[in-house]
Structure 1
Amino acid sequence: MAVWIQAQQLQGDALHQMQSLYGQHFPIEVRHYLSQWIEGQLWDVIDLENPQEEFKAKRLLDSLIQELQNKAEHQVGEDGFLLKIKLGHYASQLKSTYDRCPLELVRCIKHILYTEQRLVREATNVSMMHACVNTSRSIQAFEELRLMTQDTENELRKLQHNQEYFIIQYQESLRIQAQLTSLSTLPPADRQLREPALLSKRATVEAWLTREANTLQKYRLDLAEKHQKTLQLLRKQQTIILDDELIQWKRRQQLAGNGGPPEGGLDILQSWCEKLAETIWQNRQQIRRAEHLRQQLPIPGPIEELLNELNSTITDIISALVTSTFIIEKQPPQVLKTQTKFAATVRLLVGGKLNVHMNPPQVKATIISEQQAKALLKNENTRNDSSGEILNNNCVMEYHQTTGTLSAHFRNMSLKRIKRSDRRGAESVTEEKFTILFESQFSVGGNELVFQVKTLSLPVVVIVHGSQDNNATATVLWDNAFAEPGRVPFLVPDKVLWPQLCDAINMKYKAEVQSNRGLSEENLVFLAQKAFSISSNNPDDYRNMTMTWSQFNRVKLARRNFTFWQWFDGVMELTKKHLKPHWNDGAILGFVNKQQAQDMLMSKPNGTFLLRFSDSEIGGITIAWVAENPNKRMVWNLMPYTTKDFSIRSLADRISDLNHLLFLYPDRPKDEVFSKYYTPPLCEQPSCLRWLSFVQHFSHQACLDCRELSVIPSPCARFLSDSMLDTDGDFDLDDTMDVARHVEELLRRPVESQWGGPQS
């Protein structure tokens, strides 16, 4: 169903949010009448940060205007006449607004479509019930704050009115006193005649002033108490938003670095933060006006201390809001290679409400070490400290009117050099964590308040060569998965429960392979056996076991020259690059050891095979199959295929080449599973056929690629010497691999370039 059709069914606050997306910058009528066209365009393919994409945006703008004009021309009748005029006006308006900045139109429409999709998704997804409850509570809290703020505004005006009248009466008392003083210049008879009335009037006014002074003092105290209650609710609501919702968003962002679901947009959070900012600022202005009234008419009492306390509290609240809402919307890469371009985006969630954007701030990015990050959070003097040099590390924040966001896009940063610290014990360079510090200075409310703001990126591991990527990724994975809230940078547990690690690597695997098929319980048992060198097949035996960081990626596996993570990462890379469709189809069991494969296959007909990841080689997959040997049935295993092999010939084609592989375990005909992935024949010309005949003959004499060996007795099989097989059914390919690989490489070359004429 079209998003616009669903969006029109929104209700309550969701409908209000949807309606607020539209205005002069993009009329809702345009969205309505061009809904199908708008949703059919490829807005997402345009990179808003690349100025060279402007011509694509201009083309979309021109098409949009043309569509509007076409729609207008087709309107008929009385109602159609009015709509025709309106649509024509919108076409002119959009051209005028975006003709010089078409990328802003794309930004606007992308924001609209994203928000509509989110609102529709939230309205229809039962799993969002918790978010809806929180939203409802926030709406109630903001409504309560609005009413409280309106009440204190009314009370403040009442206080101001009463104080102004009090001052008038006070002036009257001074006038009476002046008249009494002037009586001394009059004759005694006149003085006695006029003095009693003035004294009586003065007494009346002074009595009123005394009563009214007490009343004003009470009004001031009552107002201060109401402000205290408002600030208490403000603090509570701010804590919910900043310490719960925003922290949860940051945690989701961290898990997204491990392949978790996207952290989600910031639009709702920004709307809440903006409402907080507006309410806080209104209350701050009220408190300042109350202080001004007190200074205008000082009355002895506790109000001065109360107002000072309120002013200090409201300043703390707004400081916490501004500094906490300076966030990293798009994190820099967590594995950062020197001399390589990278990007990041920072954003201020209250930038449009406190006039920060009126004087656009500049943001600076610096790379600092873990120790420097700790010192920074302790407020120790770390000024100008850094652990390297980042090029293009300054950026001015920009305010986008259509989306209401204030952000800085660092597009072309590059880490020129890194300064490493002394490492602890067995720690390698790929275990050393850094962070990108983003800092700026914000002037709030027309320079009334100035805040120094800082925010740290997720930890990054710096590498200088691609070969370090594997181990650096392990450090990042462990940190993202097991970092605890409010930690000291960048401490993580040294050991975790096995089920916790399973969740982390399963999330990573699904993301890397881009598959909904994750790791099954059987897969995880296999991994536990590999990690702990235990043979138990019972998942419960591993639930309370812990795995240390050293076991994960520091200590090598038993009888291997690689760690648990290095082996697992090799499997992910191989699957991602070459095996993804087969993994998604369920054709690859993968996480099966040699003995399990033998037990599974021995009960199946000859020619049954399965695919399992190699135990002995990083990033390898092998084929195990059952066949009849002249003496007995046995399971044979091919030497593992790696990325190098699949760059020559695909897995499906290799399986097709092996004629004696008949059924994929347990009983699926191999062509039924793999035929859709076979490479179509390139030609059927005589020269091609002669070449294939030659290769078949050559391969036959070389006993094929030993992977392609027939295991059913055949003339070729008889050529194999006993030295080429071990007792477990593994091939020793040292003698034949060079020939076999050469044949494979020849198979991939153009025939005509290899054989120019007829072959004898």
Structure 2
Amino acid sequence: MGHQMEEFCTVENFLLLHCNTDLKGFKMAVWIQAQQLQGDALHQMQSLYGQHFPIEVRHYLSQWIEGQLWDAIDLENPQEEFKAKRLLDSLIQELQNKAEHQVGEDGFLLKIKLGHYANQLKSTYDRCPMELVRCIKHILYTEQRLVREATNSSSPVGGIMDSMSQKYQQINQAFEELRLLTQDTENDLRKLQHNQEYFIIQYQESLRIQAQLTSLATLPPADRQLREPALLSKRATVEAWLTREANTLQKYRLDLAEKHQKTLQLLRKQQTIILDDELIQWKRRQQLAGNGGPPEGGLDILQSWCEKLAETIWQNRQQIRRAEHLRQQLPIPGPIEELLNELNSTITDIISALVTSTFIIEKQPPQVLKTQTKFAATVRLLVGGKLNVHMNPPQVKATIISEQQAKALLKNENTRNDSSGEILNNNCVMEYHQTTGTLSAHFRNMSLKRIKRSDRRGAESVTEEKFTILFESQFSVGSNELVFQVKTLSLPVVVIVHGSQDNNATATVLWDNAFAEPGRVPFLVPDKVLWPQLCDAINMKYKAEVQSNRCLSEENLVFLAQKAFSSSSNNPDDYRSMTMTWSQFNRESLPGRNFTFWQWFDGVMELTKKHLKPHWNDGAILGFVNKQQAQDMLMSKPNGTFLLRFSDSEIGGITIAWVAENPNKAGERMVWNLMPYTTKDFSIRSLADRISDLNHLLFLYPDRPKDEVFSKYYTPPLCKQSYVCTGRFHFWDLTFQCLLLKESELLVNLCFACACFSSKAKAVDGYVKPQIKQVVPEFATGNPDPTSGNPTYMDQGASPAPVSHPHAYGIYPPMSDSMLDADGDFDLDDTMDVARHVEELLRRPVEGQWGGQQS
């Protein structure tokens, strides 16, 4: 079952990672699949290549070609030619590099051929690099279509990739249709303008004829009768033509308006797909990235789509304005005025929605935000370059507001002067980056000086209160034709004033990121979720924090369910329909404990991330096993078999459980549990070294020799550590570390320092290097008995001290309160007495070990 879960995680991660990166993962498989085509599909694929683009180039540079963002280049925009030129230069450089690495007889011929192709492509496309982009885009799209038609894959991954490829292709096809429609209306508009100009000329001719007829009144009757019939006939002809042409112009205007209506309908549909689907999905991926999901790739291609929208919208807006100008220049009675007003209103709404929606936060501020701590954020206007906003760079202001203020803001209620705190360095000017074509403002040194909290509800704590950073700006486009006020809200932020609040604040953020619904009222989240949903969230978080490819297995998740629901069922199906509330997650303590489910789980993550990551990745740590399960697993194994599991009773602790003989009852075996190690223990001596020290530990469960698993992590003997400096034992460094520990740990670790001088140590300047070594008194031995597999106890003249609770933590005696003061802290004077005694011991010469004077 565990293997199935890991397999599922691999597929899930593949989907999450590759579905969000512009089909890069899908494209990289295209050439491999294209080589399997047969029959007519193979002939179609081969026909794509020739002198203009050799198939050998496609073959040897397939991975590089499929990794480039060809779709991000707008073929209709001459300003993007520099991007195409850069891709051409990179392609030629890749070919030349490939050629240089060819060796051998066959490699020599290939080297010549690839070099020839590099020169050929440079000479073909150097003056028209956009044609190279057009060529490769056509090749890739056709190959994808042929592969899709040939395979018709029914697998989940293949189906999703095919669906995405088809969706992206539909978007690009819609842009091509919009381009053709816009070009068509541009041609019609020019034709209308030409016809209207000719109409005006003929109208002026009719006025001239009328003026001539009027002037006939001053002529003698004979002359008037001679000239009047011809002028009247000519006037009648011109007026008939003007009437007919006026109707034609009116029809042209109505036809043009109808075409613009069709274009705007398609524009609105395309914009809805990009803004309400693709951009919202990107924002959702960004939110999940806050929980450890894959990076939110795809913003560059989103920008390219938004820029195409902006360009097309602006072109149509200008056409509608020109049509309105023509109408004003030659008013003709009819419904055209109302139609043009409607079109102008619609196009303004479309561009307003585009600009306000594409003002986004590229890099979110930290969601757990500590006061008086520097933080950064980046906002970006996806259409800023196309609309030339950077010609008059706008300024962006950042303000922190509460959840209630965010709700009021979205309802367009007046909150302009309201804020919930003071942010230093909260103004930044947007900058245009020519190489990337992005317009963004990068806040590098913001700091939250103070925070104003609202009255909390019921059991809600300060770490459950949500804020958000409001970014706002104002700018104009089109020579101040349109003025925009844009605003965007960050993901929810929890403000803390001390590091001890980080754990609970992270829980609030994780729950919000995992279960927020798109378009929600800020910042509503469900109070309870299905257990499998929570498993997905904590699995994602765990993998990201530990930076591991190893998922939580189904057995791990069953263990967590047992802990969360105080259940004993081992059947994962029993938990699939169960729900977990926020209170159960991080408000109510676990039964018999003083910490919540999340606090325990977060402690495990922190410990693993800081000290146990390689062992977790190696599969050496079972971790999510309770004491009874560990006992059942070990009792069927030989003596000296051990496993590592996370402590049930302590946050961020891991213990070693092993099976050995019961020293108090001959012939009886029992499972021992070592006092849990925590971060402070591993900051002194690593887990691998501690396991190496304990000779009674022989096999990692189920049957792996411990050195086979851990030896690569052992610290080499006599390695310089923080306790050793040019051969001197820094006793007070160790003493300071020990002051942080419990009394029992203090004595044991001081024992390490006193008892473990190496007989092979060499004196340096009259000093020797001591080493720390872990000792468990009941199992203290130099070597295990290899014949019996059982530990041999050190001969001390007596049996090991009895253990009152052999299955509980505490093979060490319970902590004495004699060294604690009234507040529960160590009494420094008493501790120093112990320290001075040990120091005296260290200063005494040890006979027979080494020569030289000790000090």
Q: TM-score, with normalisation over the residues of structure 2? A: 0.69
User: CA 1:572–1:28 in 2, change beyond 3 Å: closer, same or farther?
Assistant: farther
Task: State the distance in 2 between where 1:554 and 1:4 align.
Answer: 53
2:50 matched to 1:17?
no
Cα distance between partner residues in 2 of 1:543 and 1:423: 33
TM superposition shift of 1:65:
17
Q: Deviations over 1:517-542 (max 9, x none)?
A: 11111111111111111111111111
CA contact (8 A) 1:400 1:406 kept: yes
1:242 CA drift (Å) = 0.6
Partners of 1:224 and 1:306 within 8 A in 2: yes
1:252–1:80 distance in 2 versus 1, CA, 3 Å? closer
SS at match of 2:723: helix
> How do residues 714-725 of structure 1 correspond to structure 2 at under 5 angstroms?
none
Q: CA deviation at 1:712?
A: 12
Q: Distance in 2 between matches of 1:748 and 1:59?
A: 70
Does the CA-based 8 Å contact 2:400-2:467 persist in structure 1?
yes
> CA separation in 2, counterparts of 1:629 and 1:422?
59
Could you say if the C-alpha distance between residues 138 and 307 of structure 1 is closer, same or farther in structure 2, counting changes exceeding 3 Å? same
CA contact (8 A) 1:169 1:205 kept: yes
Question: What is the number of residues matched between the two proteins?
Answer: 737
**Are the counterparts in 1 of residues 54 and 117 from structure 2 also a CA contact under 8 Å?**
yes
User: Partner of 1:745 in structure 2?
Assistant: 840
Q: For residue 736 of structure 1, give the secondary structure of its aligned residue in structure 2.
A: helix
348-357 or 129-138, larger mean C-alpha shift = 129-138
Task: Work out the CA distance in 2 between the residues paired with 1:308 and 1:579.
Answer: 68
Matched position secondary structure for 2:440 = strand
Indicate conservation of the 8 Å contact 2:843/2:854, yes or no: no
Q: How big is the shift at 1:385? A: 1.5
CA distance in 1, matches of 2:366, 2:221: 96
How far the C-alpha of 1:193 sits from its partner, in A, is: 2.4
Over 3 Å counting, the alpha-carbon distance change for 1:91 and 1:533 in structure 2 is same
Contact 1:259 1:512 in 2 (8 A): yes
- Could you say what secondary structure the match of 2:199 adopts? helix
Task: Report the alpha carbon displacement of residue 351 of structure 1 after superposing the two structures with TM.
Answer: 1.3
Alignment of 1:510-529 (within 5 A): 510-529=543-562
Deviation, structure 1 residue 445: 2.2
Stretch moving more, 598-607 or 131-140: 131-140
Question: After the TM superposition, which of the residue ranges 732-741 and 457-466 deviates more from structure 2?
Answer: 732-741
Q: Secondary structure at the match of 2:848?
A: helix
Cα distance 1:472–1:99, how it changes in 2: closer, same or farther (>3 A)? farther
User: What do the CA deviations read for 1:546-585 (whole angstroms, capped 9, x no partner)?
Assistant: 0000110001110100000000000000000011111101
Question: Cα gap change, 1:561/1:283 in structure 2, threshold over 3 Å: closer, same or farther?
Answer: same
Contact 1:636 1:730 in 2 (8 A): no
2:432–2:440 CA contact under 8 A, matched in 1? yes
In the alignment, the residues of structure 1 paired with residue 408 and residue 519 of structure 2 have an alpha-carbon distance, to the nearest angstrom, of 15
1:111, 1:403 within 8 Å by CA — same for their partners in 2? no
Q: Which moved more, 1:136-145 or 1:61-70?
A: 61-70
CA shift, 1:51, in A, is 32
Are 2:671 and 1:635 aligned? Answer: yes
Question: Deviation at 1:386?
Answer: 1.0
Q: Pick closer, same or farther for the CA change 1:574–1:329 going to 2, 3 Å.
A: same
Deviation at 1:110, TM superposition (A): 22
Displacement of 1:191: 2.1
Work out the CA distance in 2 between the residues paired with 1:183 and 1:45. Answer: 70
Counterpart contact for 2:531–2:579, Cα < 8 Å: yes
Give the drift of 1:482.
Answer: 0.1
Gaps of at least 5 residues in structure 1 are: 686-692, 705-709, 714-719
Taking the aligned partners of 2:615 and 2:102, their CA distance within structure 1 comes to 53
1:212-235 deviations in whole A, cap 9, x for unaligned? 111111110110000000000000
User: What is the CA–CA distance in structure 1 between the aligned matches of 2:822 and 2:701, rounded to whole Å?
Assistant: 23
Contact 2:310–2:386 (Cα < 8 Å) also in 1? yes
**Counterparts in 2 of 1:346 and 1:102: CA distance versus 1, 3 Å:** farther
**Is 1:712 aligned to 2:776, yes or no?**
yes
Tell me the distance in 2 between the aligned counterparts of 1:746 and 1:96. Answer: 83
Alpha-carbon separation, structure 2, partners of 1:328 and 1:179: 70
For 1:726 and 1:748, the matched residues in 2 are separated by 30
> Does structure 1 residue 735 correspond to structure 2 residue 788?
no
- Return the alpha-carbon distance in structure 1 between the equivalents of residues 54 and 74 of structure 2: 24
CA distance in 2, matches of 1:54, 1:338: 47
Q: Is the 8 A contact 1:438 1:454 kept in 2?
A: yes
Contact 2:364 2:491 in 1 (8 A): yes
Query: 8 Å contact 1:636–1:729 — kept in the other structure?
Result: no
> Deviations 1:320-370 (Å, cap 9, x if unpaired)?
111111111111100011111111111111111111111111111111111
1:609 deviates by 1.0
**What is the CA–CA distance in structure 1 between the aligned matches of 2:76 and 2:193, rounded to whole Å?**
52
What's the secondary structure of 2:247's corresponding residue? helix
**Do 1:638 and 1:730's aligned partners in 2 also have CA atoms closer than 8 Å?**
no
Matched residues in 2 for 1:412 and 1:580: separation? Answer: 32
* Offset from partner CA, 1:430-458 (integer Å, 9 cap, x none): 00111111111122223221110111111
Contact 1:367–1:435 under 8 Å retained in 2 = yes
- Could you tell me how far 1:737 is from its partner in structure 2? 16
Q: Distance in 2 between matches of 1:694 and 1:340?
A: 33
Shift of 1:647: 0.7
Measure the CA separation in 1 of the matches of 2:776 and 2:396.
Answer: 70
Instruction: Give 1:190 deviation, angstroms.
Output: 2.1
Call closer, same or farther: CA 1:265–1:663 in 2, change over 3 Å: same
Q: 1:194: Cα distance to partner?
A: 2.1
Q: Is the 1:72–1:85 Cα contact (8 Å) retained in structure 2? A: yes
CA distance in 1, matches of 2:303, 2:456: 41
**CA distance in 2: counterparts of 1:682 and 1:105, whole angstroms:** 63
Give deviations 1:276-308, integer Å, cap 9, x for gaps. 111111100000000000000011111001000
> Which residue is 2:69 aligned to?
42
- Name the stretch that deviates more: 463-472 or 390-399: 390-399
1:415 & 1:13 partners in 2: Cα distance? 65
CA contact under 8 A between 2:475 and 2:485: conserved in structure 1?
yes
* Kept in 1: contact 2:74–2:304 (CA 8 A): no
Q: Which of 101, 119, 136 in structure 1 is aligned with 2:168?
A: 136
Aligned-partner Cα distance in 1 for 2:593–2:716 = 40
Tell me by how many angstroms 1:610 deviates: 0.9
1:112 positional shift? 21
Secondary structure (helix, strand or coil) at the match of 2:33 reads: helix
Change in CA separation of 1:82 and 1:630 when aligned onto 2, cut-off 3 Å: closer
TM-superposed CA distance for 1:161, in Å, is 0.9
**Residue 746 of structure 1: CA displacement?**
11
Distance change (3 Å), C-alpha of 1:493 and 1:569: same
Q: Select between 409-418 and 192-201 the one with higher mean Cα deviation.
A: 192-201
Deviation at 1:197, TM superposition (A): 2.0
Change in CA separation of 1:482 and 1:684 when aligned onto 2, cut-off 3 Å: closer
Judged with a 3 Å threshold, the aligned counterparts in structure 2 of structure 1 residues 48 and 173 are, in CA distance, closer, same or farther, namely closer
Q: Distance in 2 between matches of 1:307 and 1:45?
A: 34
Question: Identity of counterpart residues, as a percentage?
Answer: 95
Check if 1:425 corresponds to 2:458.
yes
Given that 2:432 and 2:438 are in contact with CA atoms closer than 8 Å, whether structure 1 keeps it comes out as yes
Of the three residues 591, 605, 623, the one matched with 1:558 is 591
For the structure 1 residues 400 and 576, does the alpha-carbon distance in structure 2 shift closer, same or farther, using more than 3 Å as the test? Answer: same
Q: Using a 3 Å threshold, how does the CA distance of structure 1 residues 179 and 757 change in structure 2: closer, same or farther?
A: same
**Contact 1:602–1:635 (Cα < 8 Å) also in 2:** yes
Q: What SS does structure 1 have at the residue aligned with 2:439?
A: strand
How high is the TM-score relative to the length of structure 1? 0.77
Aligned residues of 1:627 and 1:711 also touching (Cα < 8 A)? no
**Range with greater deviation from structure 2 (229-238 or 726-735):** 726-735
Instruction: Quickly say closer, same or farther: Cα 1:738–1:44, change in 2 above 3 A.
Output: farther
- CA drift of 1:30 comes to 17
Alpha carbons of structure 1 residues 575 and 184: separation in structure 2 relative to 1, 3 Å: same
Does the aligned pair in 1 maintain the 2:72–2:300 contact within 8 Å?
no
The alpha carbon displacement at 1:203 in A equals 1.7
**Partner Cα distance (1:287, 1:565) in 2:** 59
Range 101-110 or range 507-516, more displaced? 101-110
167-176 or 490-499, which deviates more: 167-176
CA distance in 1, matches of 2:823, 2:301: 61
Q: Distance in 2 between matches of 1:65 and 1:671?
A: 51
Equivalent pair of 2:819/2:831 in contact (CA under 8 Å): no
Aligned to 2:723: 694
Q: Distance in 2 between matches of 1:313 and 1:384?
A: 32
Distance 1:217 1:55 in 2: 44
| Gap change, CA 1:601 and 1:735, over 3 Å in 2 | farther
Deviation at 1:87, TM superposition (A): 18
Note if contact 1:3-1:117 (Cα within 8 Å) is conserved in structure 2: yes
- The corresponding residue for 1:98 is 125
Determine if contact 1:629/1:711 at 8 Å carries over to the other structure.
no
Is residue 2:436 matched to residue 1:403?
A: yes
